[in-house]
Amino acid sequence: MWERTSSAPPAAEAPSEDRWPQRRHGLSRWARGPRADGPLRRRRENGLAGGVAAGVAARTGLDVTLVRAVFVVTAVFSGFGAAAYVLAWLLIPAAGQGTSIGAKAFTDRRGLTLTAGVCSLIIVLLLIASAVGAPWLSTVSWPLVITAGALVLIWRNAPAEEQAVLQRLADPLLGIAAGSSRRRIVIRVVIAALLLVVGLSILLSGRHDFAAVRQLGGLGLVVAAILVVLGPWWLRIARDLVVERQARVRAEERADIAARVHDSVLQTLALIQRRASDPQQVVQLARAQERELRSWLFDGQPPGSLDGVTLAAGIRLIQQEVEAQHGVPVEAITVGDCDLDEDLSALLAAAREATVNASKWSGAAVVSLFAEAEPTEVAVYVRDRGKGFDPAAVPSDRKGLTESIHARMARRGGTAVIRSTPGEGTEVTLRMPRTERQPSRA
Amino acid sequence: MSPSPAGRPRVIIVDDHGLFRSGVRSELGSQVDVIGEADDVAPAIELIARSEPDVVLLDVHLPGGGGQLVITAIRAAHPEVRFLALSASDAPEDVIAVIRAGARGYVTKTISGPDLVDAISRVAAGDSVFSPMLAGFVLDAFASSAGPDRPALDPELDQLTPREREVLRLIARGYTYKEIARELYISSKTVETHVSSVLRKLQLSTRHQLTRWATERRLA
């Protein structure tokens, strides 16, 4: 994660350091990288958060660690570093992009409203804090407001991958607030105890100081006044946020349902249209689809999953899918049957890949898919009479063949043999030894 | 047998779909001699008895009953007429019923024109034609009935030899007879012999396991 723009000085520079060590002093000691020309841009690929430090480092030729240290130190002591960093994140475009996040944020009216709400809330909290006598907070007050506001705008308007970065940075904090693991509860209890001790000591130390009580009373009235004025507005912002979030969840759910329906119901309907001349097949398809839909709606089992499916049903599923998606008839035959476990699911996944390959690339008019469950092993053969290929000539980075078929089988203790002759076709033989966990079906 | 003058097999197509009959007729082209068509059991029996074709392309499902009715009605009087079952139906019990009635082979309607011509001439020559589907059914039927709790009544008829299994397995994997011969280092004729022997076992085996197997498959 911690990447430098240039991890080591170029080799050619090394002797010069030895010869003129006295020349390297001051800032030049940190000038490790080449200086980039052109405007200042954020370098997300080298960055930890928004890539601001990396961008500054690249622009000035300073070491990125130094730039980061400056930001952190100024952030801790005055809050200025944090505000400057977040503003830069908001206003400086990322490398390779024309506009900054800020440009987009100005058109986001709800985002601006939300920012105003958050900022005003923080200002009120800061007022309370200064009234009860925590003056050290006031030094970070304005940077804090700016940081929070800018973060809200970034969070709402940044591209997805930058939002993911924010999410990652925020996760530990949110985790402490919302998590329920033992460690997080301990952290929460410790923080609460600290606050309690500080609060009680303040209260106890000022027990007889009526001026303080008067002050607190006045503060309470001011806060109440502010709440009366701004409270409904804050509530509305919060409610809008909830509504927006719900809408997003609903949209995601709809997309998920659409994808599942497409993979199951729509595909079956397409198959039924193509098999319209064969009533028996149509009935079969409709029945299978009905069963699948029911198990999805009432048992929560997602369509297309192989859970609770037998070997023969899995082979039929592959046949239907490949026929529907690639338009090449698959002659699927199963001898014997057994329940599926993880090994056999992997076997089916490999068989599916081989069948898809055959229908996509072989050019054959029909693909034969034959599965046989024997007492000691399950074998699947995928054969086409297409153009064939030379297995030795396939580049090793072709994922379909190597990863999906060979590796998948090998991981589970099975084997895959691919026999192909150019001009005559291809046969993929997959074998998986059987374990006791796969009871046979009559 | 009375082959047509050109040596082409004389064929009758029995199917209740007129469109399908004319489709098959045009697919077969001039390579076989289509001498007639019938669309149901009774007209088919009458037509076959009258014209004595070499091969009848027989649909497994007909309005007046299963295709096996045609075979049983014809076989006694005209044993030289050969039947090739042709069906879109993949239900094993139907296929097994037609084969047990005496059909010399079974192919699905998805078969290509040249393959169908090839199948017809093989059946006309007295050989049998197993589609991959049929080979799978037969393997399944003989495998599931050969458990230790169901001893074979007649080992000669009720079990497949390892070689027959191997041949059936290769057919199910989509191999042609010629490819099987090359794969097993035997002649094409020997492959034919194995397949015919399987067909004989299928037809003559008196065990009720076959029926039982078919029923189980239907329930599954």
pLDDT in tens, A179-205: 556 777 787 788 888 888 877 776 676
**What's the confidence (pLDDT) of residue A195?**
80
Task: Count structural domains, chain A.
Answer: 2
Are A33 and A144 contained in the same domain? yes
How do the domains of chain B map onto residue ranges? 10-129, 135-219
Q: Give the pLDDT of residue B148.
A: 45
CB–CB contact B174 A365 (8 Å): no
What is residue A71's predicted lDDT score, i.e. its pLDDT? Answer: 84
Write the CATH number for A329: 3.30.565.10
Residue among A370, A441, A442 whose CB faces B172 most closely:
A370
Is the CATH number of domain B10-129 3.40.50.2300? Answer: yes
Q: What is the pLDDT of residue B14?
A: 92
Give the dihedral of Cα atoms A258, A263, A264, A269; nearest 10 deg.
Answer: 90
Contacts of A277 in chain B (CB under 8 A): 88
- For range A407-434, the mean pLDDT: 87
Mean pLDDT confidence for A345-350: 86
Token pair listed for B74: 């014809």
Give the SS3 label for residue A193: helix
Contacts of residue B114 in chain A, CB cutoff 8 Å?
A: none
Q: Which residue, among B58, B48, B64, B74, has the nearest Cα to B24 in the 3D structure?
A: B58
Q: Which two tokens stand for residue A258?
A: 């659409």
**CA A277 – CA A271 distance, rounded (Å):** 11
Model confidence at B56: pLDDT above 90 = yes
Tens-digit pLDDT profile for residues B21-51: 888 888 888 888 889 899 888 899 999 999 8
Q: Is B113 on the interface with A (CB under 8 A)?
A: no
| Structural domain range at position A179 | 11-249
pLDDT tops 50 at residue A14? no
Q: Are residues A63 and A200 in the same domain?
A: yes
Q: What is the pLDDT of residue B60?
A: 86
Residue A173 within a domain: yes
Return the residue of B nearest to A275 by Cα.
Answer: B88
Going by pLDDT thresholds of 50, 70 and 90, the confidence category of residue A305 is low
Tell me, yes or no, whether A216 and A319 share the same domain.
no
Tell me how far apart the alpha carbons of residues B84 and B119 are, in angstroms, rounded to a whole number.
Answer: 8
| A317 in the same domain as A222 | no
* Cβ within 8 Å, pair B88-A381: no
- Contact flag B220-A336 (C-beta cutoff 8 Å): no
CA nearest B87 in A: which residue? A278
Nearest to B186, CA basis, from B162, B163, B156: B163
Q: What is the pLDDT of residues B80-117, one digit of tens each?
A: 899 999 887 667 777 888 888 889 988 887 787 888 89
Per the model's pLDDT, the better-predicted residue between A291 and A322 turns out to be: A322
Residue A430 is predicted with a pLDDT of: 93
pLDDT higher than threshold 80 for residue A168: no
Residues A244 and A313 in one domain: no
Give the architecture (CATH level 2) of B135-219.
Orthogonal Bundle (1.10)
Phi, psi (5° rounding) for residue A379?
A: -120, 140
